[in-house]
């Protein structure tokens, strides 16, 4: 399949004719220029993906300085455009100079067709990947601009949360790696988004990776990207999440679920600040700010040999512990009102409110699923409300002392599922692979259910 646009600049019309025949079968659009003076206009009009540039244009002059000059002009216009230099004189020093000036490669005339095509196709894939990363960043930037973090989240106003937010705001201005810990549903991602929003990188994307939902076989492709043909479904080059987060923030949620062998690969990328796409040998530099989150005790896991100690030190320059909702009940009324207004507007019930008794019942409830459970409770209450004021019964909270993990008689399907997961967790502790095997489900499915039930 033909793809990409190329500009060829050479003063030899026989060369241009030969290249037209050769390249037309491989590129969507081939533009041929016999003089570099037409190059600036062609760059603006054609928006090429690759340029093949001769190095000598004046008769009797073989220094290559003309090619270097026009290479510099191309890089001024488009620094990311891959430029392949073309010459009949195999001067190694000139080649080194050209590469230092930003050339992607160097081809000597007379050329070998297969080698020339391979060089151009490699440059094309690099160019298309860069454009895809740029497109993703622009899209993320547009989304970030539309979201007002001050109105989109309500972290709470309790003394514990005020102290936590003060620390988060202070470290946001640095590039320090941050580890956010806390139970499921406490709002760790909310804190990560706040840190990114207040950081010097706020204009760049915040890229989130749910480590518990990434299959081990796809880990490298997901984080580092891959090149076309590197595995069965790799039909095109694809940038990984670390590359997409370049100059921005990478948020690795539930990093404790990453297996020990994959932890080494992540550590190597973080230490070198380079990634290599699956199927490639070319390292790509990445500049990221790292934020990780976990509901596990990674320090205990490190002592048991389940989590690499060197990786833990790498991600844990600053640690922020998000307290569970039961330890900051002062935040419940504010959070409940925040979610109530959001869902009342969403479902067309703007006059809906919470009764005093409903707020009291919410204060008494333990909220094992934390803020996520509170959010779901408010959405359900708004949807099913048959009056303007929601009563305690309208919250559909479980009766005090009820444990879905006991008394299997008359349980709903969800309660039975929860009971089975609790039993497996009790038997195997934090060994997610063993729990998944007992339940007959995959690790990503197990992880999604653990998040669903706030376990």
Q: Which residue has the higher pLDDT, 236 or 344?
A: 344
Which CATH number do you get for residue 345?
A: 1.10.8.60
* 123 part of a folded domain: yes
Domain boundary among 268, 299, 321: 321
Domain boundary among 103, 129, 155: 129
SS3 assignment for the chain: CCCCEEEEECCCHHHHHHHHHHHCCCCCEEEEECCHHHHHHHHHHHCCCEEEEECCCCCCCCCCHHHHHHHHHHHHHCCCCCEEEEECCCCHHHHHHHHHCCCCEEEECCCCHHHHHHHHHHHHHHHHHHHHHHHHHHHHHHHHHHCCHHHHCCCCCCHHHHHHHHHHHHHHCCCCCEEEECCCCCCHHHHHHHHHHHCCCCCCCEEEEEHHHCCHHHHHHHHHEECCCCCCCCCCCEECHHHHCCCCEEEEECHHHCCHHHHHHHHHHHHHCEEECECCCCEEECCCEEEEEECCCHHHHHHCCCCCHHHHHHHCCEEEECCCHHHCHHHHHHHHHHHHHHHHHHCCCCCCEECHHHHHHHHHCCCCCHHHHHHHHHHHHHHHCCCCEECCHHHCCCCCCCCCCCCCCCCCHHHHHHHHHHHHHHHHCCCHHHHHHHHCCCHHHHHHHHHHHCC
pLDDT one-digit tens code per residue, 369-420 = 899 899 999 999 999 998 999 999 999 887 765 544 444 445 567 777 887 8
pLDDT of residue 438: 80
290 with 226, same domain? Answer: yes
Q: What is the largest CA-CA distance in the chain?
A: 95
Q: Residue 89 pLDDT > 70, yes or no? A: no
Q: Mean per-residue pLDDT for 426-438?
A: 73
pLDDT of residue 425: 76
* 141 part of a folded domain: no
Taking alpha carbons only, the member of 327, 425, 333, 373 closest to residue 184 is: 373
pLDDT of residue 196: 94
174 with 84, same domain? Answer: no
191 with 308, same domain? Answer: yes
pLDDT of residue 91: 62
pLDDT one-digit tens code per residue, 153-188 = 677 889 999 999 999 999 999 999 999 999 888 999
Would you state the structure tokens that stand for residue 403, as one six-digit string?
């444990």
Which CATH number do you get for residue 63?
A: 3.40.50.2300
Q: Mean per-residue pLDDT for 240-246?
A: 90
pLDDT of residue 110: 83
pLDDT band at 8 (very low <50, low <70, confident <90, very high): very high
pLDDT of residue 139: 57
Q: Which of 109-123, 264-278, 316-330, 423-437 has the weakest average pLDDT?
A: 423-437
Q: Mean per-residue pLDDT for 74-94?
A: 78
Which CATH number do you get for residue 202?
A: 3.40.50.300
Number of C-beta neighbours around residue 124 at 10 A: 21
pLDDT of residue 125: 87
Number of domains comprising the chain: 4
22 with 89, same domain? Answer: yes
pLDDT one-digit tens code per residue, 102-143 = 888 888 888 889 988 998 988 888 888 887 777 776 656 555
Q: Residue 73 pLDDT > 80, yes or no? A: yes
pTM of the full predicted structure? 0.62
* 279 part of a folded domain: yes
pLDDT band at 426 (very low <50, low <70, confident <90, very high): low
pLDDT band at 319 (very low <50, low <70, confident <90, very high): very high
pLDDT of residue 140: 61
Q: Is the dihedral of CA 216, 220, 222, 228 positive or negative?
A: negative
Q: Residue 226 pLDDT > 70, yes or no? A: yes
User: Which residue shows structure tokens 């989109």?
Assistant: 152
Which CATH number do you get for residue 449?
A: 1.10.10
Domain that includes residue 25, residue range: 5-129
pLDDT band at 148 (very low <50, low <70, confident <90, very high): very low
192 with 316, same domain? Answer: yes
Angle at 90 between CA 89 and CA 95, to 5 degrees: 110
Q: What is the chain's mean pLDDT, rounded?
A: 85
19 with 93, same domain? Answer: yes
Q: Is the dihedral of CA 39, 41, 43, 48 positive or negative?
A: negative
248 with 356, same domain? Answer: no
């Amino acid at each position: 399949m033909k793809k990409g646009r190329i500009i060829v600049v050479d003063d030899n019309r026989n060369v241009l004719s030969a290249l037209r025949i050769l390249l037309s079968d491989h590129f969507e659009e081939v533009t041929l220029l016999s003089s570099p003076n037409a190059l600036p206009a062609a760059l603006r009009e054609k928006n090429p993906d690759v340029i093949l540039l001769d190095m000598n244009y004046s008769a009797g002059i073989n220094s290559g300085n003309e090619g270097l000059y026009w290479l510099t002009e191309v890089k001024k216009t488009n620094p990311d455009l891959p430029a392949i230099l073309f010459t009949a004189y195999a001067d190694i020093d000139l080649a080194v100079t050209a590469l230092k000036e930003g050339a992607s490669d160097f081809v000597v005339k007379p050329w070998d067709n297969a080698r020339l095509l391979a060089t151009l196709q490699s440059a094309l894939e690099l160019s298309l990947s860069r454009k895809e990363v740029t497109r993703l960043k622009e899209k993320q930037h547009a989304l970030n601009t539309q979201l007002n973090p001050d109105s989109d989240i309500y972290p709470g106003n309790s003394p514990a949360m005020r102290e936590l937010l003060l620390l988060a705001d202070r470290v946001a201005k640095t590039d320090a790696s941050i580890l956010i810990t806390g139970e499921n549903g406490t709002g760790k991602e909310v804190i990560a988004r706040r840190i990114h929003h207040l950081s010097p990188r706020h204009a760049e994307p915040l890229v989130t990776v749910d480590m518990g939902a990434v299959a081990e076989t796809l880990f490298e492709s997901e984080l580092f990207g891959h090149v076309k043909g590197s595995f069965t479904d790799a039909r095109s080059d694809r940038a990984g999440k670390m590359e997409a987060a370049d100059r921005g923030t990478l948020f690795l949620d539930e990093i404790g679920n990453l297996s020990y062998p994959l932890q080494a690969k992540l550590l190597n990328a973080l230490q070198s600040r380079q990634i290599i796409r699956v199927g490639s040998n070319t390292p790509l530099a990445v500049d990221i700010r790292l934020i990780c989150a976990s509901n596990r005790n990674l320090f205990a896991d490190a002592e048991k040999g389940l989590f690499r100690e060197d990786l833990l030190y790498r991600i844990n320059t600053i640690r922020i512990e998000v307290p569970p909702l039961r330890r900051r009940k002062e935040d419940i009324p504010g959070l409940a009102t925040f979610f109530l207004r959001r869902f009342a507007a969403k479902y067309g019930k703007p006059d809906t409110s919470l009764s005093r008794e409903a707020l009291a019942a919410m204060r008494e409830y333990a909220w094992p699923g934390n803020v996520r459970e509170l959010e779901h409770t408010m959405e359900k209450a708004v949807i099913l409300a048959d009056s303007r004021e929601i009563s305690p019964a309208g919250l559909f909270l479980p009766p005090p002392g009820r444990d879905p993990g006991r008394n299997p008689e008359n349980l709903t399907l969800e309660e039975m599922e929860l009971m089975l997961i609790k039993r497996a967790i009790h038997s195997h502790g934090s060994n997610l692979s063993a729990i998944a095997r007992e339940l007959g489900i995959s690790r990503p499915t197990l992880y999604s259910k653990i998040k669903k039930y706030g376990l």
